[in-house]
Amino acid sequence: MSLFRLVRPTAHRAWIGAAAACRQQRIMKLHNSADTRQPNETIDAFLARLPPSTRTLPNPLPPWYWISNPHRDEGALGDVESFTREGLALLQEALRQMIVDPGNGYLRGVRRILWETQIQKAASKWGVVSGKVRFVAHRRWMIRDAEVLGLGVKWMLFPGEKEVNKVWRTVCDGVDTNRLGTGAKVSTERTRDDRWLICVYTKDFTDQEDVKRVLVELVKMGLVRRGGERGAVYKCDAYTHLGISWGNRLGLKASNYRSWEMMDR
């Protein structure tokens, strides 16, 4: 969904209402669904029951398999609906300013930072602060700009079909032993370019210390490298609720943090 369409709130009332239930659905998935790890289920049993790359399971498959961190609080839900309304109004005004006065490259850069700051402040105001690291399991461990995929609070990596089960096990072990964030999920189907997507959630995208802590753990696990191949990108759920993705008309970045930048801080 493009930003051009998102800035027409009257055309998206049903979508705005659905956004309010998005994270609640994720919380319920982490505790009540057959496609999540059960409370007393071992990691081995969970992965044997729901291996992401296996195609022998009944169809239709659920879109994701989930695991929650038994040691960490998921956090308050936040008022997604109020945030989404305020966020869309901010985007509407930002687009109006851009149309009235496109400005030069410097002015557009200053505006972009201001708009991103306003959206992040609104997310904090309404308690919509969760996010996730996102990986994509690929045939080769080659880094691509995650924003090109429109992904993105999330850290994103790029592993292959042969690696996805191994990578997912490593992530599950990290979640279960409290090395990572509040939970994780893996897609059950590959994308059109033969990828699987893995997302690792954190509680609060404004807590850069915790976001970096998770990144450092991913580096220690061998899933992310400090630079070059196996990079990762992180995107807050607030951006997802507003439909902010790569190529939007305002030039907003589709992700909050990139591993190769954060590791240099």
Q: pLDDT at residue 227 above 80?
A: no
* Alpha helices (H) along the chain: 3-6, 13-32, 43-49, 80-100, 105-125, 164-176, 208-220, 237-241, 259-262
Tens digits of per-residue pLDDT, 174-193? 999 999 999 998 888 776 66
User: Under 8 Å CB-to-CB from 136, ≥6 apart: which residues?
Assistant: 146, 149, 151, 156, 157, 158, 159, 191, 195, 196, 197, 198
pTM value is: 0.75
The mean predicted confidence, pLDDT, of the chain is 76
Residue 114 structural domain? 3-9+78-125
How large a percentage of the chain has pLDDT more than 90? 24
Is the per-residue pLDDT at 67 higher than 90? yes
Regarding whether 216 and 156 lie in a shared domain, the answer is: yes
Question: Does residue 92 sit in the same domain as residue 70?
Answer: no
Q: Residue 113: phi, psi to the nearest 5?
A: -60, -40
pLDDT digits (tens, 9 = 90+) for 68-90: 998 877 666 688 899 999 999 99
Segment 22-45 shows an average pLDDT of: 72
Please name the helix (run of DSSP H) or strand (run of DSSP E) that holds residue 131, with its range, or none: strand 131-137
pLDDT value at residue 21: 47
**pLDDT digits 0-9 by tens, 46-57:** 999 998 876 555
Q: What are phi and psi of 136, to 5 degrees?
A: -125, 120
Same domain for 104 and 136?
Answer: no
State the pLDDT at residue 189: 79
Q: Is 195 in the same domain as 255?
A: yes
Same domain, 103 and 230: no
Q: Are 62 and 133 part of one and the same domain?
A: yes
Are residues 50 and 119 located together in one domain of the fold? no
| Domain end among 95, 125, 155 | 125
Residue 183 belongs to a domain: yes
Are residue 39 and residue 166 in the same domain, yes or no?
yes
Calculate ∠ Cα 167-171-174, nearest 5°: 140
Q: Is residue 120 part of a domain?
A: yes
Inform me whether the pLDDT recorded for 147 exceeds 90: no
Whole-number pLDDT of residue 23: 47
Q: Predicted confidence band at 261 (pLDDT cuts at 50, 70, 90)?
A: confident
